[in-house]
Chain A
Amino acid sequence: MMFAVRSATVRFGQTLALDNVTVEVPGGSVIAVVGGDGAGKSTLLRALAGEVRLDSGTIEAPSKQRLGYLPASAGSWAALTVTQNIDFVAGIYGLAGDELTARRAELLSRASLTSAAGRLAAQLSGGMRRKLGFVMAVVHRPALLILDEPSTGIDPVSRIDLWRLVSEAAASGAAILMSTTYLDEAERAARLVVLDSGKILVQGSYDQVRAGFTGVVAQTSEPVRSEWAWRRGRVQHEYWPGGDPPAGATVVVPDLEDIVTALALAQRNAVLS
């Protein structure tokens, strides 16, 4: 089962939100999309979900019945309880009776929401509300699951819970496309896609991305070129695309955050020069 966005271009007025983007989402794997604000992550996800019309390109996606979507916003109805939210969505997908009761109990338990089943969605903490949104998106066992920044702004413990839910869904065969601002989550994905200004900077597994990364990242307290440097904790990291840092520079093994930032800077500086 393979879903995809192929050669997709989306324009909003003057802005080019997506520029000839191709991403394949195979069943059973998690594809993570990362990038800064305005990079096009949400647009890509919404295009695959059918929310946004393409100016050119094609989408390969299942019918609505087999699609699950968690938007960047709330994802649940504030004035309904946890149980009522799940029942409403399940009803639309055709789940009912004993099957619904069993499925709901199973999902609530996996998401650690059983004790909150009767609480209004508006009264849940951010992390619990997001987990509820996830449950609502998978209640009907979709073949394709699209999650827009599911863990942004959520406490670390709930983030692990969400990751657990996501990987269980993938293990059962769903194709999952998710966007995240947490690069350590992207590391765990089967493949990650780095977007910047609507273009794909690099795409591949974490190992592939690391192997394909050229240049050197040095740790310094006084960067030589400010347009190639950024703050990491109390120090600065500086990117040398040509692999030619000054002698005596402390070279570090770049993690994903370094790689993504370095690539974004390379893109921006190339545009400016």
Chain B
Amino acid sequence: MTAVQLRARHVTRRFGTFTAVHDVSMAVQPGEVVGLLGANGAGKTTLIRMLLGLLPVTSGSVELLDGPPDRQRRRRLGYVPQGLGLYGDLTVRENLSFSAQAYGVAEPMLPPALAARAGALVRELPLGAQRQVAFLAALAHSPEVLVLDEPTSGVDVLASASLWDTIRAQADHGAGVLVTTHYMQEAQQCDRLLLMSNGQLVAEGSEADIIGSTTAVAVHASDWAQAFAALDAAGAAVMLAGRAIRVANACPAELQQVLNAAGIQASLEAVPATIEERMLVLARAMDTS
């Protein structure tokens, strides 16, 4: 068992004049689930492709299972890209048989729900079932490292929950898992988080580390839509969680002024900030720069 499954040391990647990833260092240990967060274009996919050896680094180094990410080491890796990597016009069974043979292992067993559809063409399955098949294919050879790109995007609650059961089980068995996600709920399922913005690693650690010094104020108003509109117009960093209005890095007194001026009844309360608020603050900083 290696000490570290995936590692990047001061990795930078440039495409012409554009720097996609700048001086990023990170590591994934066995048995832990690491969440890679960041807006689109933050550099998550580029970093992953370098970690997997699919893209050369401009400077710095990457390690997969204590060595360069060559084909031998990739045999011990399971990867599910966003596009799933399945053959649409082959059946479930055929897809699994192909990947099992490619890795030289036995075909995985299908859970009952999928077993009933083993003969169906993959492209005719709903997205959740397709992701399940992709997972099975990636896990059949008992990989020591698992890299998943947005594993539950677009999938409903039940299917997503079952996928995460699988991910947890793999980590409990000793695999190191790297997951990219936009879903804050998924971020909460991870042991450790990495936040990227504009190619750089901006924060890492627990949820609290990611949130950092961001503050939030919850606004309780009877007419939430009006309150949202008023605060938004005033340029506040407003977010919505359901119908609850939250404002990041704001001074409650100023918010109260805005609401009063608009004639809106509301009470304000300082609350712990969430990751989404941190991301909103980062995005606004980027927009203005």
Contacts and interface: CB of A to CB of B under 8 A. Distances in A.
A142 to B, nearest CB: 21
Contact of A37 (B40, B156, B182, B239): B156
Interface string A157-190: 1101001100100010000000001011001100
Nearest to A258: B157
A82 to B, nearest CB: 16
Nearest to B226: A171
Contact of B283 (A157, A206, A230, A261): A157
A36 B39 contact: no
Contact of B39 (A127, A187, A261, A264): A127
A154 B159 contact: no
B153 A37 contact: no
Interface string A185-206: 0011000000000000000001
A157 B184 CA distance: 12
Interface residues of B, number: 40
A154 B126 contact: no
Contact of B129 (A37, A125, A260): A37
A152 interface: yes
Contact of B185 (A112, A125, A233): A233
Interface in B28-47: 38-41
B94 interface: no
B287 to A, nearest CB: 7
B279 interface: yes
Interface residues of A, number: 41
Contacts of A171: 225, 229
Contacts of A71: none
Nearest to A151: B182
B137 to A, nearest CB: 19
Contacts of B184: 156
Contacts of A37: 126-129, 155-156, 159
Interface in A120-170: 125-128, 149, 152-158, 160, 163-164, 167
B182 A231 contact: no
A36 B156 contact: yes
B193 to A, nearest CB: 14
Contact of B232 (A112, A125, A164): A164
B106 to A, nearest CB: 27
A158 B38 CA distance: 12
Contact of A264 (B126, B158, B283): B158
A265 to B, nearest CB: 7
B188 interface: yes
A153 B154 contact: yes
Interface in B177-194: 182, 184-185, 188-189
A35 interface: yes
B156 A233 contact: no
B271 interface: no
B156 A35 contact: yes
Contacts of A255: 242
B98 interface: no
Given A35-B156, A152-B154, A125 B243 contact: no
A38 B124 CA distance: 11
B240 interface: yes
Contacts of B189: 233-234
A188 B128 contact: no
Given A128-B40, A157-B283, A163-B240, 16 more contacts: A36-B159, A37-B128, A38-B126, A154-B182, A155-B39, A156-B239, A160-B280, A167-B225, A181-B155, A184-B240, A188-B240, A188-B243, A206-B243, A230-B157, A232-B161, A256-B242
10 contacts: A37-B156, A127-B39, A153-B150, A155-B39, A156-B279, A181-B154, A181-B155, A183-B157, A187-B242, A206-B242
Closest 6 pairs between A and B when the two form their complex, measured CB to CB: A36-B156, A37-B126, A125-B40, A187-B242, A231-B161, A38-B126
